[in-house]
Amino acid sequence: MAKLHLQILQPVQMKIDAEFDHIIVPGVEGDFGIYAGHTAFITQIRPGVLQLYNEGSIEKYSIHDGFVTVENNQVNIVCEIIEKYSEIDESRANNAKDRAEKRLKKSKGNIDFRRAEAALKRALSRLEAISKSD
């Protein structure tokens, strides 16, 4: 089976540089799968769970905003934050979720609302990555 070469770049480091059988990415219009031979494209990603499949095993990451490009079995993801499920502190993510929900309930302006909404999405992404990995 043909493989996909994946590189995940952050501003300070390359997080992943490896080959996988297929990948599921949280896109802004919904999750999508990438297999070898996929058509070339570029799109934004949203906070969610990135799933990397290789020879029967799966790695799950919480990923927050960025974009993905696909061309000739090369997948590049550029993002600010990506965390493997084992790196996530569940109680900290729950606390962040609770704080964001409280801010959303009493938000008075668009800026506060957008910041709280983004924080809530990040917290939910972390919690989802943990729950999908059990």
pTM: 0.79
80 and 14 inside one domain: yes
Q: How many domains does the chain have?
A: 2
23's tokens: 């990948």
Domain containing residue 105: 88-131
What pLDDT is recorded for position 132?
Answer: 61
d(CA 22, CA 55): 10
The CATH number of the domain holding residue 20 is: 2.60.15.10
Considering just the CA atoms, what is the radius of gyration of the chain in Å?
Answer: 16
- Let me know whether 64 and 126 are in one domain: no
CA distance 131 to 129: 6
Residue-by-residue pLDDT tens, the chain, 134 positions? 689 999 999 888 899 999 999 999 999 999 999 999 999 999 999 999 999 999 989 999 999 889 999 999 999 999 988 988 888 888 888 888 888 888 888 766 665 777 778 888 888 888 888 886 54
The Cα 119–Cα 65 span in angstroms is 12
Burial of 31 (C-beta count, 10 Å sphere; 0-12/13-18/19+): middle
Specify whether 99 is located in the same domain as 80.
no
